[in-house]
Structure 1
Amino acid sequence: MGHDHSHQHKDMKGRNLIISILLNILITVAQVVGGLISGSLSLLSDALHNFSDVLSLIVSYIAAKLSKQKASIHRTFGYKRAEILAAFINASTLVIVAVLLIIEAYKRFLNPQEIESELVIWLSLIAILGNGFSVLLLKKDSKNNINMRSAYLHLFTDMMASVAVLIGGLLMKYYQLFWVDSLLTLLIALYLIWVGYDLLKKSTKILMLFTPEHINIKDVVRAVNKIPKVNRLHHIHIWCLNDDELHLEAHLDFNEDITISEFDVILHEIEELLHHEFAINHVNIQPEFNKKDPKEIIVQD
């Protein structure tokens, strides 16, 4: 019963991504046409961001599909890291798009142009509604999955950008403040860099197998070393494979020459301890007794 529920949830995730992709393709086409007709850089910049949304959603969809494929002899982890890679790619595109927008905003500041604000207002409203619906579709999954979070952030920032474009359109229509178009483009770009950098940093840390920020390795060592017959946990690696799997690999030195069955009992106790206190759900331990090797917590392989 639990398996069916999980499968249904993954299917819903894929369906929500497909709906968001189609909506953003329509919004992008409308904004490109409208931006060219009206001469609005902020509308074109929003269209560029929307196009990056389409690409990021496609990447997220493919990654979500790949992550469900089974492991094999040639891929012992399967494609479980596909979603982390997708998040890294999506975060990178956020930052790249932001840099391009800053360059264009600077050029437009030097050469401001009159803009057809009426078209800007209507198209930004359409984008707000379309992206707002997509944001609601992906919000739940974004809390527990870095890949879905990257897609969600693309859509959320684009919705906020469309709100900024709408405000700019209103200011241009009623107050003829055409320089606001460039200013809003710049603000949108800075916001993209802010959210993109945070996601880029997180996905990079996972890809580089860094120790998760919430894990204190010294606390892990102290907890395991309190178990009877255990001498010292050392040569430790702790990393996230993906959003769901936190792995520990280590050497475990014992005070006495125990049997394999005794080791199994102690290993089960360690697994329970690590799971409940540190949320580590995959444990690989090499038992040792009187082995002459480095006993430091971290050993450079």
Structure 2
Amino acid sequence: MGHSHSHKHSHNNGNLQGRNLLISIFLNILITAAQVVGGVISGSLALLSDALHNFSDVISLVVSYVANKLAKKKASLQKTFGYKRAEILAAFINASTLIIVAVLLIIEAIKRFQDPQEIESGLVIWLSGIAILGNGFSVLLLKKDSEANMNLKSAYLHLLTDMMASVAVLIGGLLMKFYNVFWVDSVLTFLIAIYLIWMGYDLLKSSTKVLMLFTPEDIPIDKIVTEINNLEGIKHTHHIHVWQLNEEEIHFEAHIDFENNIQLSEFDDILHKIEEILFHKFEINHVNIQPEFGKCDDKDIIVQD
């Protein structure tokens, strides 16, 4: 059986990622505490909802930080893949909490809309402004790493949506202060929640596909089979599995039926050609091939194991 690793290593500095996450955790703890106190004093549901979202940010950032550390642990006899799935699992958890928090906010917003209450708008304005600055700084810290890491993207989305929510709360505070439109607090809370669901759904879907070992959407299995079958000496490529282990590894596994009973050295040459095709054309960096000759088995591309 041919087996090859050709991993692409991330250019991100793991220690820098961890430091940025810790800074963001600390900032969000301070923001959450201030908004809870301010929300209770002012009576603003939007401010309390923003505090609840900030608290979910703290949890998501802690989960992301732990997953980031676990992902660096080495494999062992008991954990042959190590903790490489930790960050994908963290992304799934964070996306789920984002949607759950949003549903709770919608329920509360509807209740408050039916019974609007007078709100201390001055406190709302000041605290939402502080939250915008704190979350904005955290967003800038994580933006670059979020582009190549699903786990950090989940943390980044939490922070970005909370910054947007704080902007909405600030606008609501200004409307309440100058126009006494108190029902806007509930409307803004509802809109914030809808935005959270919209942002969280895509990440939840993506992380679920990885956890379920679905074929990555940009991997055309039919084209891969054609490319491999065009190599000299290969008769069939079948029994294929393609899955994404984490942000950096895509695995390919297949049985290849050869036209002749070739030597092992010849197989190694062909295996190298297959690896080059898969890596350079399809960005697959972990290849596992089972060579066969004259074997009577299912030759379908996808075989139900």
TM-score w.r.t. the length of structure 2 is 0.96
The amino acid that maps onto 2:169 is V
Q: Which residue of 2 aligns with 1:282?
A: 286
2:90 aligned to which of 86, 106, 112: 86
Deviations 1:124-159 (A, max 9, x none): 000000000000000000000000000000000000
SS in 1 for 2:237: strand
2:26 aligned to which of 7, 22, 28: 22
Quote the sequence identity (%).
Answer: 73
SS in 1 for 2:13: helix
Conserved 8 A contact 2:255-2:291? yes
TM-superposed deviation, 1:8: 7.8
Conserved 8 A contact 2:143-2:156? yes
The amino acid that maps onto 1:260 is L
TM-superposed deviation, 1:217: 0.6
Q: Which residue of 2 aligns with 1:75?
A: 79
Q: Taking structure 1 as reference, are residues 145 and 6 closer, same or farther at Cα in structure 2, changes over 3 Å only?
A: closer
The amino acid that maps onto 2:117 is Q
The amino acid that maps onto 2:52 is L
Q: Which residue of 1 aligns with 2:3?
A: none
Answer yes or no: is 1:163 the counterpart of 2:167: yes
Distance 1:48 1:233 in 2: 53
Matched length: 297
TM-superposed deviation, 1:232: 1.1
TM-superposed deviation, 1:29: 0.1
TM-superposed deviation, 1:6: 6.9
Conserved 8 A contact 2:12-2:145? no
Distance 2:229 2:165 in 1: 52
Distance 2:30 2:293 in 1: 65
Answer yes or no: is 1:107 the counterpart of 2:111: yes
Distance 1:10 1:191 in 2: 30
Structure 1 residues without counterparts, runs of 5 or longer: none
Q: How do residues 145-224 of structure 1 correspond to structure 2 at under 5 angstroms?
A: 145-224=149-228
SS in 1 for 2:152: helix
TM-superposed deviation, 1:251: 0.5
Deviations 1:216-252 (A, max 9, x none): 1101101111110011111000000000000001101
Q: Give the ranges of 4+ consecutive aligned residues of structure 1 lying more than 6 Å apart after TM superposition.
A: 5-8
SS in 2 for 1:274: helix
| CA root-mean-square deviation | 1.1
The amino acid that maps onto 2:106 is I
1:119 aligned to which of 117, 123, 128: 123
Q: Which residue of 1 aligns with 2:64?
A: 60
Q: Taking structure 1 as reference, are residues 201 and 7 closer, same or farther at Cα in structure 2, changes over 3 Å only?
A: closer
Q: How do residues 192-271 of structure 1 correspond to structure 2 at under 5 angstroms?
A: 192-271=196-275
Distance 1:140 1:170 in 2: 33
The amino acid that maps onto 1:232 is H
Distance 2:291 2:11 in 1: 38
1:35 aligned to which of 34, 39, 48: 39
